[in-house]
Amino acid sequence: MQKRVKFRGRDYIITPLDDGKLQVGHHIYSPIVMKETERLYRVTFDDCQFNLELIDGKLFLEGEEIDIEIKPYLKSVDSDIEDQVAKNIIVRAPISGRILQINCRESERVEKEQLILILEAMKMKNRILAPISGRVSKIFVRVDDTVKQDQELIKIDN
């Protein structure tokens, strides 16, 4: 099922693949979608990061309205997390950067969507939220650590 996206005067064809990746033109990407708030999502792939916001049924990419149906992709990412609720979750860095702040401690209980860490990348402060409610069993990083994309940050046990 292909989707046509018009953004900044250009047309893009996006094809969701069975393995969760997205094909845009001739390129294949492995996006990471993090739900920041009820209507704001942060999307990261390769070294690119952007915000998607749902307002009154319309989708905005970095503040500019776009024509795409994105909800099924976000739903599949959210359902993957919900399937893991009974398991331990390792929160990974969505992008390479530097740890600015850690907002939890080992053995502390955190709630789903609670701010647990701030990661600076490309001069932007990226808020990392807990994907599930649970107890922090391990923090793999310290403030000022430099991390790579997909590096383990925090382990949360449910």
pLDDT digits (tens, 9 = 90+) for 20-78: 777 777 777 777 777 777 777 777 766 667 777 777 767 777 677 765 433 333 333 44
> What is the C-alpha to C-alpha distance for residues 22 and 29, in angstroms, rounded to an integer?
5
Predicted confidence (pLDDT) per residue in 129-147, tens digit:
888 899 999 999 999 999 9
Residue whose entry in the numeric block shows the structure tokens 């976000």:
74
- The pLDDT of residue 73: 33
Element (H, E) at 79: helix 71-83
Mean predicted confidence (pLDDT) in 69-94: 54
**Using an 8 Å Cβ cutoff, are 96 and 141 in contact?**
no
Residue 104 has pLDDT above 90, yes or no: yes
3-state DSSP assignment of residue 4: strand
CATH 2.40.50.100, domain 86-157, yes or no: yes
> What is the C-alpha to C-alpha distance for residues 149 and 97, in angstroms, rounded to an integer?
8
- The pLDDT of residue 58: 72
Considering the chain, tell me which residue range(s) the CATH 2.40.50.100 domain(s) occupy: 86-157
One-letter amino acid at 32 equals I
Position with higher pLDDT, 46 vs 154: 154
